[in-house]
Amino acid sequence: MAHQWRGVIREYMDRLPFTKDDPVVTLGEGGTPLIEAPALARLLDVGSVHLKFEGMNPTGSFKDRGMTTAVSKALGDGAKAVIAASTGNTSAAAAAYAVKAGMQSVVLVPAGKISWGKLSQAVAHKAQILQVRGNFDDCLRLARELSENYPVFLVNSVNPNRLQGQKTAAFEVVDVLGEAPDLHAMPLGNAGNISAYHLGYREEVADQRIKKQPMLYGIQAAGSAPFIQGSPVAKPETIATAIRIGNPASWDLAQEAKRDSGGGFGSVSDKEILWMHRFLSQEAGVFVEPSSATGAAGLYKLKQLGELPKVDRIVVTVTGHGLKDPDWALKDENGRKIKPKKVPTSASSVAEILGLERK
């Protein structure tokens, strides 16, 4: 009989702060594919690379893992409304899970700096959307202040229930591979995700499911790289709008994840991000939003600099679906718009345009 994945709370209840009497708000998140990418393994000259394709979550990003736990807890605590600051994906997830829970959602986004795919999701799920004249960091400050003083629950990753849900991605990697990879890379923005993977892998070690956690690598966009600069960036800029964040909330946790796992931070230019975005589409068959290509782009850069650690198995989390921010796929390497040819309705003329010889 077909088995339907039950969402991360029910699949991992014994390892989450939930009991079977707690309300569960789920859209069936988690259980995302771990896709082998031999082309990327060749590029990096390692034994294997698997992509953890988080774009396969219900709202198209990894945020759903933490939103099921945060919104379920909020419902259990009697919340009527949730609030989130977001570069887009969190707002889509908060809006969808709020609908499922029968709550209102309020989302604060940086004006003009979120992709229309993500904005359309928040609109579709009837969030109250406010475009803040500022960046993500301003939005988060506002959301925190509002949740402290008004009856709205904060569901950003500073809410510890978010990291609890997100840590399940590490569990899934171990469940599928049967062990931990040597190195695990991902894009790094507000730093919730790398902190959640660290939490998950550490628990796997404590439970003796794995011997050692992977080296965790967090990669930032060069124009928005506080972890490389060593201090907050006042005016973050990058085409990777999902990670356009200058003052990451989980600063200390990310530093700890890096230190404790023996990992590292890196940064890549927008050009390097877009190159990898295209490579993943064209060589791995995995369509991600540009921000999501940042982890793989960072490893390729380390490889080129001769700084990629000698490892065998790598996992790279690709955090969001390509349809979230599809404009970039419709441009060529030189930024020119790609327009598919228009053809007449005759097989012989189409064959001629395609350069096909008759059989």
What separation in angstroms does the CA of 307 have from each of 35, 265, 329, 348?
25, 12, 30, 53
Compare residues 16 and 257 and give the one whose CB is closer to ligand F0G: 257
Nearer to ligand F0G, 216 or 243 (CB): 243
Separation of alpha carbons 297 and 300, rounded Å: 5
**Cβ-proximal residues to 82 (8 Å cutoff; 6+ apart), any chain:** 70, 71, 74, 94, 97, 98, 103, 104, 105, 106, 152, 153, 154, 155
* Rounded least distance, CB 9 to ligand F0G, Å: 19
Structural contact between residues 74 and 82, judged by C-beta atoms closer than 8 angstroms = yes
To ligand F0G, the closest distance from the beta carbon of 313 in angstroms equals: 22
DSSP for 175-192 reads: HHHSS--SEEEEE-SSSH
Task: Compute the distance between CA of residue 284 and CA of residue 275 in angstroms, rounded to an integer.
Answer: 13
CB-nearer residue toward ligand F0G: 16 or 163: 163
- At its nearest, how many Å lie between ligand F0G and the CB of residue 265? 11
Smallest gap, in angstroms, from Cβ of residue 197 to ligand F0G? 10
Report the nearest approach of ligand F0G to the CB of residue 289 (Å).
6
Distance CA(64)–CA(77), nearest Å, equals 20
Distance between CA 184 and CA 83 in Å, rounded? 31
Q: Which is nearer to ligand F0G, 131 or 179 (CB)?
A: 131
Q: Which is nearer to ligand F0G, 26 or 247 (CB)?
A: 247
Q: Would you state the structure tokens that stand for residue 244, as one six-digit string?
A: 């356009």
Q: Point out which residues bind ligand F0G (CB under 6 A).
A: 61, 63, 86-90, 157, 187-193, 242-243, 289, 291-292, 319-320
